[in-house]
Structure 1
Amino acid sequence: MIKNRKVTENKYFIFDNPKQNGLIYLIKFFITKIECFFYKFILLLANPVDKQKKYDVVLCAIFKNEAPYLREWIEYHLIVGVDHFYLYNNDSDDNYKEVLKPYIDEEKVTLIDFPYKHAQMKAYCDCIEKFRKSAKWIGFLDIDEFVVPIKYNSIYDFLENFNNRPSVKLYWKVFGTSGLINRDVHDLVTEDFKIAWPKYDEVGKCFYNTRFNVNVKSPKMKTLHHIFWGNWNGIDIPPVNCFDSISLRGFDHVKSSEFPIQINHYFTKSYNEYFGVKAKKGDVFYKKNHYISKSFFYRHEMLCTKEDNNIFKYIIKLKLAMH
């Protein structure tokens, strides 16, 4: 008899939602493997039309009262190869306009006012509908997430390996407070926080290949930033991960311990930034504010045991860009 037990991590990942390792788990595993073979076969046939577009890589984000962090986030992603930003303002009342004005004037940022509650998916769908013809790749990130190419120095150089894939999932490396109660918010997030989870989070964010069609109304797209289903000839196809393996139901295959790219997720920042800002603000997707829970905070913080400096190769360029 197979007994159920909670599996919280494996060799490469820490699971946000621990898995029940029992008979049902094994059945789901084998069904998923069969489906992955099917999707890989479909991708062998897929040959989407490559059209010339204005931008190679753009980012879409929805934000609320993130003014202290916007400039660093934009300047950093310009360094790693992002061409343009579609930013959805969700009822901010800080000085975000002052921060964004130079980038709007330089046509690096398109600013869209989006005064809806819990409107993350709605904003992403709006971006896909309006701007997919302008860019080859659209990434969906939050302002506390920084894409870090490791094997490459440019996001686009990495994504060019996936031109016949509908979307690519990059994994989170989750960072905590690095022991900071307070800090000057004018300092660099990317420099102040170095201590992260020793393994990757199974959760990540997706870059959408606009050569493929997409059905944003599909139930599969409920959290499209995490699991983005593209469509080819009427067939919905899940994302591949950064190793070109199908990502489905959390049974993600990893080919090497050397990840070519990651997303630094500065989940808490300092203790007072977390409880003074993030916990008060809540979430743009979930109606229930789970950030206010001390146990939720420590569940992430107590896993931060290893220094990760992959982003540091970009810090000098970032400092010079920000004067």
Structure 2
Amino acid sequence: MRSLITRLGRPRSARPVPSLPPPVPEGGLRIGVCAIARNERDYLLEWVAWHRLAGFAGIHVYDNVSDDGTSEVLAALDAAGVVHRTHWPRREGVPPQRHAYQHFLENHAGRYDWVLVCDLDEFVVPRTGTVEEFIRRGLERDPSITAFALPWLVFGSGGQEEQRAGLVVERFTNCAEKPGPSVKTVVRSDAVLAMRTHVADLMWGRYADNRYESPRWSDRMPIDVVDAVDGEVLVHHYFTKSRAEWTRRRQLPKADRAAVAHRDLAMFEKYVQLPRQEDRAARMADAVRQEVRRLEQVLDASPARELVPVVHSVSRDGVIGTVEGLRPGQDCRVRVVIGDVVERVVTCDRLVDGRPAFLAATKWQEVPPTEVRVSVVGSLRSVTAPNDSRRKRRDVLATVRRVMPAAEEKIFTLSLELARTEQGMRQLAALGPATFDKYPWYGSLLEGLTALHHGDPAGREVVLAAARTHPRGCRQMAEKLAEKEVGYALDLLRDAGLSTTTLAAAAASV
């Protein structure tokens, strides 16, 4: 586990640690937070640690298909019971952010008394105490409050060009002179009708601002307030970070748009130097750093942390592989992400090459398995593997024959793909004969083709003998040969006075 914080050279402990205590004392208000994330690996643990310290009982992160290690960290934290992760790919014509919020409201919000939706560059910062204490004070004043509008305080780069080690909350203290009109909402879960990006539509009750007063909403932009002040709670929005981080971030599509859209690079310049220095969040850096270290220890204590998946085959039949380092009897779940859209979590309940193996079937999935990313749940490592069609046919066949020697239909089909060309037939012959117990006529055909390839006319009799011994099987095999149009193999048969038609006829005459 390597983060920007641990790159400072802090010694690491491999000793197992107990589960983290819950962030909310027994009997307190249960507050949940929901966010959508994509490629937030360097910032994720800090954000989780901050919101645990701020008093959030449940942290839900919708993973918008990350490929920088974020997904693996989230899956490990989910397995440890620290966060709730949901695989959440982009769908055509649907803004993933609003869609994720609605899913959260329908499936998870009811577990909590109050909920907040925000982003991973946003930190809820109470002036004193926790978010729960802020809510309690408001309800003591007016029990009819069912939502709080928390203003944004926007932070810029402060002139920083490159990403540096350390926490976000201590690296960036340069911010706008005062909070802006945009807000984020913490809302009673039983009062919310729908959640927009910044505000909630309520079924009952009323909004209050961060001073417990009724906010004045903008006529021009109804989701903005016109009199935002520091108040009791702000949402620190670390909008740009450094120039290098902004440049990297703008390459990702915006989560609040249905179509793919990107941030404007020129916008960064507006936030290079802002007029105010604010260190309210930075003063919490030591506590946050300690909580991050505890989260890292939880990840390090995972029994799966050293496990590495090995993918043997990716085809329309499925993704098949083993796990290096897996001990006998050790539980193991494997994440298989297909085309950045479909995610399957499977167990190692198969046996391949004498070792526990996993199989994620891919037939009838909504996307073909052109490429997959595989990781063991609890490990921070992942591997990417292409479809077998993008690998050398000989290598694919050799692997399948080794790890799945009884997969006769698959082995025969792969063998025919090699037999389409003279070079491929040469490679097939070099692999030697395969064993076909269930379909011996497959073996006879390949044996006959190999003999004919080497110029041995006895190969013709091998094929005819199979047709006489296994007429029905050879008739079906002849049909398969005709369908696949296996070029060089058909030429060999034709030169020997055979064809798929005569082969079927020879079988039918028995």
- The TM-score bracket by the shorter chain reads 0.7 to 0.9
Q: Paired residue for 1:208, among 163, 187, 198?
A: 187
Runs of 4+ aligned residues of structure 1 deviating over 6 Å after TM superposition are 52-55
The runs of 5 or more residues in structure 2 that have no matched partner are 1-25, 219-223, 294-510
C-alpha contact 2:147 2:188 (8 A) present in aligned 1: yes
The equivalent residue for 2:253 is: 282
Give 1:138 shift: 0.8
Give a deviation string over 1:125-155, Cα, whole Å, max 9, x none: 11001112100111111000011111x2201
Superposed, 1:41-190 pairs within 5 Å as: 56-117=30-91, 118-150=95-127, 152-163=128-139, 164-184=144-164, 186-190=165-169
Give 1:162 shift: 3.8
C-alpha contact 2:193 2:200 (8 A) present in aligned 1: no
Q: Give the Cα separation in 1 of the matches to 2:134 and 2:238.
A: 22
C-alpha contact 1:81 1:155 (8 A) present in aligned 2: yes
The runs of 5 or more residues in structure 1 that have no matched partner are 1-51
The equivalent residue for 2:450 is: none
- Cα gap change, 1:293/1:210 in structure 2, threshold over 3 Å: closer, same or farther? same
Compare 126-135 and 110-119 and name the one that shifted more: 110-119
Q: Give the Cα separation in 2 of the matches to 1:320 and 1:137.
A: 27
Whichever of the two has the greater Rg, that structure is: 2
Counterpart amino acid of residue 37 in structure 2 = F
Q: Does residue 198 of structure 1 match 2:139?
A: no
C-alpha contact 1:228 1:238 (8 A) present in aligned 2: no
Counterpart amino acid of residue 103 in structure 2 = D
Q: Give the Cα separation in 1 of the matches to 2:27 and 2:106.
A: 15
Give 1:208 shift: 1.4
- Cα gap change, 1:54/1:121 in structure 2, threshold over 3 Å: closer, same or farther? farther
Q: Give the Cα separation in 1 of the matches to 2:291 and 2:96.
A: 32
How many percent identity over aligned positions? 23
Q: Does residue 240 of structure 1 match 2:208?
A: yes
C-alpha contact 1:62 1:142 (8 A) present in aligned 2: yes
Q: Give the Cα separation in 2 of the matches to 1:141 and 1:120.
A: 10
Superposed, 1:296-311 pairs within 5 Å as: 296-302=267-273, 304-311=274-281
Counterpart amino acid of residue 183 in structure 1 = Q
The equivalent residue for 1:26 is: none
Q: Give the Cα separation in 1 of the matches to 2:112 and 2:125.
A: 20
- Cα gap change, 1:57/1:204 in structure 2, threshold over 3 Å: closer, same or farther? same
Counterpart amino acid of residue 300 in structure 1 = Y
C-alpha contact 1:54 1:134 (8 A) present in aligned 2: no
TM-score normalised per structure 2: 0.47
Give 1:102 shift: 4.7
Q: The residue matched to 1:191 in structure 2 has which SS?
A: helix
The count of aligned residue pairs is 254
Q: Does residue 272 of structure 1 match 2:250?
A: no
Give 1:211 shift: 3.3
Give a deviation string over 1:57-114, Cα, whole Å, max 9, x none: 1110011111111111001111111111111011211212332345323322111111
C-alpha contact 1:246 1:253 (8 A) present in aligned 2: no
Q: Give the Cα separation in 1 of the matches to 2:72 and 2:193.
A: 36
C-alpha contact 1:167 1:229 (8 A) present in aligned 2: no
Q: Which has the higher contact order (CA 8 A, sep 6+)?
A: 1
TM-score normalised per structure 1: 0.72
Counterpart amino acid of residue 242 in structure 1 = N
Q: Give the Cα separation in 2 of the matches to 1:62 and 1:208.
A: 18
Counterpart amino acid of residue 124 in structure 1 = Y
